[in-house]
Chain A
């Protein structure tokens, strides 16, 4: 009986200590990633835009004096490189979720989340979608950033679709992997 009592008091102390630990946990800020959301109806809309600010650049592609510079998860900056000493941003093709492109003739192929889209780029100011193959790419995990370990802001599916992850200073992030 005495033993049992000792054990239960020990257990109580342990519980008290562990919950104390939780209460004592201080606020912390840490560098990590946070999701950038897009509304589902916008996710497959391709748009030609004027030059956009550079955020986080991705892959590059070159054809006929033009450099196509990926803006991770958002689309492609078009840079006129006729004079490499003064390259000029002339436009932006918004392709939500985009990472990769390739071009043949006047057609640009790119990933748009799980789909492969074909765009007619004859007129760079008015790029048009000419075809779309659905679900060429596998499903991307929506609730955590792929190939990443560290803190990140938890995903709230009510806010939309995760378009991309961006570096951010996080306060008390609850998600980690």
Chain B
């Protein structure tokens, strides 16, 4: 196995028949995620022939292209040139990002695994809520299911493993934690992540003008509210969340 830690970053590798992945690290880190978001933004603005689609995962940017229009060697050369243009770890985040404030019920019947998660993280429930609520997390990637964000990075105490047993059902809008990340589920889902908060967000709305609530790179603050307050915003299109552009 290649020792990825000895490599210089980023690495360009082909993915399947018609894609390349540009990877900025072996493990999730804030700078690698930021670099991946910035690099994908650069791909989208470079107007490269034969490119059909791009995306980011946690530490990589992906580009899909038509190899019958532009061969792999030419595509790789284009990406290498783009890689050389900047120190991608130092480049700022793309523009067009937004800061969301999301009403969230922590613990109780609405989010029954808060106490357990806090205990695994070595925090009191009160400190656990404060720790999550005070951390402005970024949408590191959207994936697995439509509109489903992976958010981070939480303070080191939250480097807790996923459960070995699945929680049978976390409702749509559920906020779950593991490995210094938060996820929000677009639909009811069984999961190994611990359910610590509940929001009224509808993350995937196929018939809305903007079908996906969140975009990669958006930032989120989860504001603690009472179950009664959450009930009052359940019918709101954005689940009571507000957003402002990040300058």
Do A and B interact with each other, yes or no?
A: no
